[in-house]
Structure 1
Amino acid sequence: MASTRESSKTTSGARQVVPRKRVLVTACCLGLFATQFVQAQEQQAAPADAASAQEAEVNTLDRITVTGIRQSIAKSVEVKNESSSIVEAISAEDIGKLPDISIADSISRLPGLTMQRVDGRGQVIHIRGMSEQFAGTLLNGREQVSTGDSRGVEFDQYPAELINAVVVYKTPDASLVGQGLSGTVDMQTIRPLDFGERRIVFGGQGEYNSLGDLTAGGKDKGYRLSASYVDQFADNTIGVAIGVARLNSPFQEKHYKSWWWANTDLWGTPQGAKPADAIALQGAEGWVKSRDMTRDGVMAVLEFKPNDTWHSVLDMYHSKFEQQESMRGAMWTNDPWWNNGAVTYTAANTTEYHGYPVVTSGTLSGIQPVVRNDDNQREDKLSAIGWNNEFKWGVYTLNADASYSRAEREQSALETYAGMLGGLDVDFEIPLTAGYANYALPDLSDPNSVYLRDPQGWGHDGRMEDSQQKDTLKSFRLDLNRLVESSDFLRSYDVGFNYSKRTKDKSAQVYFADLPGRVPTLIDPSLLSTPTSLGFAGMGNVISFDPRALLDRYYNVYLSESNDDLQKDQSIEEEIRTFYAKANLDMDLTDTVRLRGNVGVQYIRTEQASSGVVIDASGPVAVDSLGASYGDILPSLNLVADFGNGWNVRFGAARELMRPRINDMGAFGSVGVAVTNGVGEWTGSGGNPQLEPYRADAVDLSVEKYFGESNSSYVAVAVFYKDLDSYIYTQTIPWNFAGYEYEGDVPPISDWGTFSSPANGTGGYMRGVEFGSALGGDLLHPMLDGFGLLLNASYTESSIDPDGPNQGSGTDTFPGLSKIVANATLYYEKTGLSARVSQRFRDPYRGEYSYIFGQRNYRYTRNERTIDLQVSYDFPESSKLGGLSLMFQVNNLNNEPFRTEVSDSNGLGLFFPEEYTEYGRQYMLGFRYKL
């Protein structure tokens, strides 16, 4: 049967499909209409004669200086207009004041970009339909390491208060080192000599989560504090900037998840009184989580410019992120294979879903829910330091830059199990639309009937995994620029070299916790906390306690690592040399058309090596220094045709690459010998240290119109096309197994065999169209002065099946790809009052998330529409409270849930609700004071 994912039906459980292209076309038409309207207004307002022109000139002398939101937008539009590449930008309204609560929030509002929520907060950025793994991230132009398990940078590690601006490069040039395939995000801290004055700013906010305190030990209130100091000394030859920011933020979570759906009759395993050939849910879970996150960030910049010859900048950044998470809930399996078919239906009712009967209510008999009390602790440390020196003499400029970036993570995840003795009969109702189910569980908080035990038969009574990782990057760069004053088209040229060495080490230790004799044990009531309510899913209360306080008292804890656990220990090293040359062009094609841009080429030489653990017949075997060496030539071209009157046409073409996911490159695996028809052959699976990058040829075209005072408003329409000739997906490839041990009576006939591993294969296209605009209300009518609108939308599609040609289900999409992404911000700013409301929308997509035991998996994430609100008031400088600002913010105003879907396990092409999680609203009330 054909897939129902694109069904436009509105019956229960079916997806409603937005008329995708119509949305984008409508947005473009509105923007172009506004452009024409503004041009007509400007022509009508033009001075009729020289006298009126002089009068207009005099009147502009008393214009009010724009600050706040409008100043931020004007600076961002200026960066976009002036750039030779196709870029998007955001700029702080003032020192330490980006226009959103977080870096991820701000970046995700740009055209063609969106964010993925992780644990309820914006953490990673998707550019042009590609996940965070395909984006490059820089800090002050230098590539950054990641606290995540691969390359994708987690932006919640960077306090918004310490970032001054962000530029997103959608087209690369030859001098952009550390670029990504989807785009490159460059976060920038302040340069004190550019700021030009002393400024001291400090502020604070109180924070409250609308879900309240969901479980014992959790918090629903937090705070944010920040302070910045910028100054210049020695006749403006020395500049200093220091910023600190502290975040103590509560996050709450109400979570329900259906595990998997199937008609087990098709596999010859009917179940109790379940109606014949009906699809049924085979397991579920409900829990609440409470997270207390603390992040301390420090930024410092020392700038020295004693003359026009030498300019030196030393900048440093450090953050420490700590998270304490408590999870309490219940979960169970009810499939017909568990516990020899102990679970049956004593009554079951079905609902038709896309032509199939699905069990949606009744009574489950014999389930044994496990009550989970988990404690997860995490500490991240992120540091970056860079020293840049620029030397000028005559027509030459030499730039030398050295940098070091390091990210460390230590994590401990502890889970404990409890439950009643024997099976339970539970009435249930399951929706076929996104939402909470209802399970009438008995009281699972009774200390006289709930025991520490292993109800689901997992083979242990608790589990703890401690993991560590360290990611370091050392880099050195030389760049020489020469001005060409005699040429009519060549403005200057650059030649340069960058060397970087990156090492990422990972390790993990897994412990089991067993009760003595594995005998069910009641808990001392003095160790119990207030029961946790799962009433939102009809599950009642569950017993609650601090699992770490029980470890020494009740459990025997011992190291117990499976083969999968041993393979988590690995180290990956990359040594990269980048050579580049770039010509910067600037010429007049006609009296009215100016052409500028650049053309260049990079040559990248990569040496990579990996070590890890391989499991063969002799047991775990350490493998050291498997890898590869390869080179890439990356030409690039960026041209901007300036037609005057605010009209620009941009064209970009480039060869692009993104290095493989780090967690695919490990030298880990399991090997053995398979015997077929009496013939032995090596087989195995694992990582691939010989992976080469994703590679693509890209073409971009953008038409832009800038207008308004100082060209501070714009409308732009862009199209792009990327032809990925190399994509990495799991394949069965030939492999040489020389040196591995084997057991058995039939030895392999050759050292060569097959290995299932990520490997480079054929790709496909990514293509899309983007619309972006920033419009001031005064352009349409004087009465709208102070109002403004930021509006953008994009449509993206791909031919790539991430499972490989003819290997996937036909419904899998490129990770991170939402076909429609749209953002709108309506703001008002005048006489000190500032207000804005923003809405972010993204279509369904295939998201990448952390899964059980630290593994990664893809999940079909449903569309999201989130609304944020900000209101502030700046007291006039002439008042006694001059310099003081009061602000009120609400994040996730509409309490948008996180929703995923899961496909049926019978291959019928059906998709059922999977996860439904609420995170609540974040309310913030605070102040900001500047001197």
Structure 2
Amino acid sequence: MSNTKFKLNAICMAMLVSSASVYAQQTPANADESDVEVINVTGIRSALSKSASIKQESSGVVDAISAEDIGKLPDTNLAESLQRISGVSIDRANNEGNKVTVRGFGPDFNLVTLNGRQMPNSCALQSAGVSRSFNFREIASESVSGVSVFKTGKANVASGGIGATIDISTAKPFDYDGFKAFASAKGVYDTSVETGSNITPEISGMISQTFADGKFGVLLSASHSERDSGRDRVGTSSGWVRNRANPDGVDASAINSTNNPTGAYWVPWTPEIERFDTERERQNAQLVLQFAPNDRIEATLDYTLSRFEETSYTNKQAFWFDNPTGVADENGTLVNISNVNDELNFWAWERYEKKENDSIGFNLKWQATEALNLSFDIHDSTSHSNPDGQTAETLANLKNPPGSVSLIAADFSGEIPSITVDDSGLPGGAYNPDNIVSDLYQLRGYEMKNNIKQYQFNGKWDNLEDGALAAINFGVMYTDYQVDTYLSERFSFVDIPLDDLGLTFSPLGNFADQFSGASNLFPFIPKYDASRFVDIVKDQGLFLAPDVTTNGVNEETTALYVSFDFRTEFNHYPIDLNVGVRYEDTDVSAYSVQPGIIALNYRHAEELRPFFDTTATAQELDGSYTRILPNLDFSMELTEDVKTRFSYSRTLARAGISAMFPATRIDARPEGPFNASQGNPNLLPITSDNFDISLEWYDNDGSYASVGYFKKFVENFIGAGVEQRAINDVNGNPLRDPSINPRPGCPDSSDTPNPDCLSQASDPIVMFDVSTPDNLQNREVDGWEFNAQYMFADTGFGAVANYTLVDSDEAFDPYDFDQTIALTGLSDSGNLVGFYENEKLQVRVAYNWRDEFLLALGTEPTFTEAYGQWDLSVNYEINETFTVYVDGLNLTDETVRRHGRFDQQLISAEQYGPRFSFGISGKW
């Protein structure tokens, strides 16, 4: 890592001295190049005009963002630029856009490509799961020249996105005539930082040159960025659980029996506060070589690299409701909860993620005849998380002696909970180190490798004669998609000395002060290192061997397509028509390698742990499917300025990777719940029949207005089918519960299990709730997109406004406890942008808003509440070479709040703070 960082820093610094970069609007490698009009001018107005031109001239529904100048997208983050497009919303992590939702379909329903190529993704954090979705935080916006969002399917565009296919374009040396260069250096000031540097550097550059009368070209781009940040969080762990408490301790008199006839009630596991301090480094680089020996042949060889490393240190103050009592509101939420004779918990976490992404590709274009153009494209791309096997998550917990705190309580009726702790029975109180003992440690995480090999052959025949048929497009694509994961987990309750841990406590100060009720939280938050806790565990000889599971999925897809372009007239109205079909055949194989389960071990009062055999066994499952994906795009020019269009397409999104692992996972506690899960590689893809109709007006100065309606009929939504059944041990016998009638000496947390604490033939059989993903239901989604972009003559002022309404035929019903499928990410959204520019100055103010949406649906749902954010950008051109700029994000310090089934069921309330960047750029 250090060697790579040194090389990239050297490249960037060299570029800052010698200059670097270039800009161009690209089209996807496998898209129709005639769809896009290239405009080589710069500035806010020209970029918006270029995006309007792409939308106007494309077949189907295509939106785009374009760089305003060499190396400058409208926002400092690629996802935050994409959110300005109607129908596109983003998810934020650590106050930064990282994944996108399009027309109500979340990140896993959209395909992201780089120059028309599908890119791999990997993740080290088990809590994040295994996703196909590209994370935009891993690519610097300075290296991107433009992005196209294909909202309707086309035969020649790779499948995988129901919401959209999003293609990121980067520059090539033949996009420019001779020498072009760009360099930028800026500082990022993050107001949330408490530990680390308030100001961190970002440098980037690009240099391009052609030689030998334009027959050979070289382009090199690179960037390096660092960011320190902080985050305050108030919330709960593991969400809210239905009917968990003893009903004798629940006051259910206020429950509305009309809405909630069963009298169901919900209790959280914990109330907690967390402080995150995060350090991140990111490097991007791309080398592109091009060779054109004559006017008919063009060859391109490119190598793209990204390195991403992030470490987050967390301390958490919490308590656990073991035996809660409380008062339920009309929905059944226990808003006032208490627990007598319990303890406080003092947590420390470390999260570490390192990603190495590499892609090498070759493209050959050949104009075989005047009418026939052929191209061949190949790439081999890999994403590798924690390649050295580093632990992704390390956590530790301390506690007061069990039952030593007289009362713990929380009132969830406000924006965040009001906490009550009665520790008067402890000499010196609950925060006295003499009253704190060790509890547990856990280490977990993936080493994951995702490799994609893709081969594409594309052709286009242009009709040089008269006639309605303008062109025939055809091609074949083969994709080999391979994911291998190595999941390692260690978990144990321990009793260790804490003298050398370095435990201290800090007052909260202005912690989460943007939320009402912040003064009623815990008085302190603990400070210690999880890794130091684990070191003490090792010194005491209590460090357990890991439980290891290896999983993998391989998908091989062969696709064939053909499409026809027609250009004609109807009653003197110009008509464009594209008709195409794509055929895909996919074979799936999945494997898991894990030790077999010998018995359940009653190891702790809160844990039934599987006791594994020493020999790992492999399990393999296969699946396959074929799909035919037709499309039809029709557009008519009603006048020179007004166009109407209709599109139909069938698109698909493939099942999530982790849903296909055959491995069986068990999560059991004494007296329940007894949960288990197993994957299903025979899942069918989710398919959607899409209909779009729109009316659009364009002016030659870049102004336009449009209104569009879309309807999607989606089949084979994947949900969790739950079956209650026994799970067999390695000998084929059902697992049994040793905690029901515990034998003397149990539970026993020693490294070598006490045989009396293992399942025995006299113990009752455990009936597990086994969750297996399956294709369960269909859905209908429709919506409206409204767009307006207006340039106020020659004043320099302009404005952009858009709004998207999205709806589904079956919304989430909070009182339907059997609902296993719901569309995550479905929400209305809107943007308002105002700008002014002249020859020297550019100013842009932008507001983005997204309504409440369902973030995740597990046993209980998680909703993200409505969120709006103001951003500002100011650029001043000193001369033709140098420009200075200032950007501000989240100017009004907006916060994020997530809740469960009802508003009072707080999951997470997060505060980040504004972020500013200031710098200088040069172009030559």
**What TM-score range do you get, normalising by the shorter chain?**
0.7 to 0.9
Query: What secondary structure sits across from 1:762 in the alignment?
Result: strand
2:351 equivalent in structure 1: 376
Give how far 1:809 is off.
4.6
Task: Give the superposed CA RMSD.
Answer: 3.7
Query: Structure 2: which amino acid aligns with 1:544?
Result: K
2:803 equivalent in structure 1: 793
CA contact (8 A) 1:313 1:387 kept: yes
Q: What's the TM-score once normalised by structure 2's chain length?
A: 0.80
Aligned counterpart in structure 2 of residue 583 of structure 1, from 553, 560, 564: 564
Query: What secondary structure sits across from 1:414 in the alignment?
Result: strand
Query: Structure 2: which amino acid aligns with 1:523?
Result: D
1:642 corresponds to 2:625:
no
1:716 corresponds to 2:706:
yes
Give how far 1:696 is off.
1.7
Aligned counterpart in structure 1 of residue 624 of structure 2, from 622, 625, 629: 629
Q: What's the TM-score once normalised by structure 1's chain length?
A: 0.79
Give how far 1:770 is off.
0.5
- Matches of 1:274 and 1:334 in 2, distance apart? 22
Q: Check 1:448–1:275 CA distance in 2 against 1; reply closer, same or farther (3 A cut).
A: farther
Deviation string for 1:377-424 (max 9, x for gaps)? 110111222211000022111110001121111252111122334522
1:47 equivalent in structure 2: none
- Matches of 1:895 and 1:614 in 2, distance apart? 47
Query: What secondary structure sits across from 1:193 in the alignment?
Result: helix
1:915 corresponds to 2:908:
yes
1:153 equivalent in structure 2: 134
- Matches of 2:181 and 2:355 in 1, distance apart? 29
Deviation string for 1:500-559 (max 9, x for gaps)? 1010111111124665xx25x33337x457846376343223332233234334544767
1:318 corresponds to 2:326:
no
Give how far 1:808 is off.
3.7
Q: How does 1:293-372 map to 2 (within 5 A)?
A: 293-336=280-323, 353-354=329-330, 359-360=335-336, 365-372=340-347
Deviation string for 1:549-585 (max 9, x for gaps)? 34334544767589xx65x531000000001111122
Query: Structure 2: which amino acid aligns with 1:154?
Result: N
Q: Check 1:309–1:894 CA distance in 2 against 1; reply closer, same or farther (3 A cut).
A: same
- Matches of 1:545 and 1:806 in 2, distance apart? 43
What count of residue pairs does the alignment treat as equivalent?
800
Deviation string for 1:297-316 (max 9, x for gaps)? 11222222232210112222
Query: What secondary structure sits across from 1:81 in the alignment?
Result: helix
Aligned counterpart in structure 2 of residue 725 of structure 1, from 715, 739, 742: 715
Q: Check 1:735–1:80 CA distance in 2 against 1; reply closer, same or farther (3 A cut).
A: farther
- Matches of 1:549 and 1:305 in 2, distance apart? 59
CA contact (8 A) 1:511 1:557 kept: no
**Which segment drifts farther, 274-283 or 183-192?**
274-283
1:237 equivalent in structure 2: 215
Aligned counterpart in structure 1 of residue 232 of structure 2, from 251, 254, 258: 254
1:501 corresponds to 2:480:
yes
Query: Structure 2: which amino acid aligns with 1:430?
Result: D
Q: Check 1:301–1:644 CA distance in 2 against 1; reply closer, same or farther (3 A cut).
A: farther
1:392 equivalent in structure 2: 367
- Matches of 2:553 and 2:269 in 1, distance apart? 39
Q: Check 1:336–1:438 CA distance in 2 against 1; reply closer, same or farther (3 A cut).
A: closer
- Matches of 2:568 and 2:98 in 1, distance apart? 43
Give how far 1:265 is off.
10
Aligned counterpart in structure 1 of residue 392 of structure 2, from 412, 415, 418: 412
- Matches of 1:598 and 1:147 in 2, distance apart? 36
Query: Structure 2: which amino acid aligns with 1:668?
Result: A
1:268 corresponds to 2:247:
yes
- Matches of 1:206 and 1:89 in 2, distance apart? 28
Q: Check 1:396–1:66 CA distance in 2 against 1; reply closer, same or farther (3 A cut).
A: closer
1:543 corresponds to 2:521:
no
Aligned counterpart in structure 2 of residue 688 of structure 1, from 665, 680, 704: 680
CA contact (8 A) 2:860 2:900 kept: no
- Matches of 1:713 and 1:584 in 2, distance apart? 28
Q: How does 1:783-862 map to 2 (within 5 A)?
A: 785-800=795-810, 808-809=818-819, 813-818=822-827, 820-848=828-856, 859-862=862-865
CA contact (8 A) 1:507 1:569 kept: yes
CA contact (8 A) 1:616 1:742 kept: no
- Matches of 1:199 and 1:484 in 2, distance apart? 36
Q: How does 1:61-76 map to 2 (within 5 A)?
A: 67-76=42-51
Deviation string for 1:470-515 (max 9, x for gaps)? 1000011111221222241111112211011010111111124665
Query: Structure 1: which amino acid aligns with 2:710?
Result: F
Aligned counterpart in structure 2 of residue 106 of structure 1, from 72, 75, 81: 81
1:189 corresponds to 2:189:
no
Query: What secondary structure sits across from 1:523 in the alignment?
Result: coil
Structure 1 residues without counterparts, runs of 5 or longer: 1-63, 338-343, 455-460, 673-682, 748-752, 850-854, 878-882, 905-909
Query: Structure 2: which amino acid aligns with 1:891?
Result: L
- Matches of 2:446 and 2:531 in 1, distance apart? 17
Query: Structure 2: which amino acid aligns with 1:601?
Result: V
- Matches of 1:317 and 1:398 in 2, distance apart? 24
CA contact (8 A) 1:247 1:296 kept: yes
Q: How does 1:161-180 map to 2 (within 5 A)?
A: 161-180=142-161
- Matches of 1:599 and 1:628 in 2, distance apart? 31
- Matches of 1:628 and 1:859 in 2, distance apart? 31
Aligned counterpart in structure 1 of residue 469 of structure 2, from 467, 470, 490: 490
Give how far 1:119 is off.
3.0
Deviation string for 1:168-194 (max 9, x for gaps)? 000111111244111100000012222
Give how far 1:670 is off.
6.3
- Matches of 2:729 and 2:499 in 1, distance apart? 52
CA contact (8 A) 2:412 2:904 kept: no
CA contact (8 A) 2:246 2:323 kept: no
Query: What secondary structure sits across from 2:293 in the alignment?
Result: coil
1:700 corresponds to 2:692:
yes
- Matches of 2:787 and 2:56 in 1, distance apart? 13
- Matches of 2:226 and 2:725 in 1, distance apart? 50
1:13 equivalent in structure 2: none
**Which segment drifts farther, 636-645 or 619-628?**
619-628
- Matches of 1:627 and 1:396 in 2, distance apart? 41
Query: Structure 1: which amino acid aligns with 2:852?
Result: P
- Matches of 1:264 and 1:543 in 2, distance apart? 32
**Which segment drifts farther, 699-708 or 413-422?**
413-422
Give how far 1:202 is off.
1.3
- Matches of 1:219 and 1:444 in 2, distance apart? 35
Give how far 1:228 is off.
1.2
Query: What secondary structure sits across from 2:142 in the alignment?
Result: helix
Query: Structure 2: which amino acid aligns with 1:886?
Result: V
Deviation string for 1:704-762 (max 9, x for gaps)? 110032xx121111111111122111226899999985226999xxxxx9975211233
- Matches of 1:870 and 1:418 in 2, distance apart? 46
1:41 equivalent in structure 2: none
Deviation string for 1:822-864 (max 9, x for gaps)? 0111111113111111111111111149xxxxx9985111111
2:190 equivalent in structure 1: 209
- Matches of 2:409 and 2:732 in 1, distance apart? 51
Give how far 1:886 is off.
1.2
Q: Check 1:487–1:686 CA distance in 2 against 1; reply closer, same or farther (3 A cut).
A: farther
Query: Structure 2: which amino acid aligns with 1:708?
Result: N
- Matches of 2:253 and 2:322 in 1, distance apart? 12
Structure 2 residues without counterparts, runs of 5 or longer: 1-38, 124-129, 256-262, 512-517, 599-611, 668-674, 737-760, 762-767
- Matches of 1:734 and 1:856 in 2, distance apart? 14
**Which segment drifts farther, 616-625 or 292-301?**
616-625
Query: What secondary structure sits across from 1:190 in the alignment?
Result: coil
1:664 corresponds to 2:659:
yes
1:8 equivalent in structure 2: none
Deviation string for 1:451-477 (max 9, x for gaps)? 3411xxxxxx21111421010000111
- Matches of 1:296 and 1:429 in 2, distance apart? 44
CA contact (8 A) 1:297 1:318 kept: yes
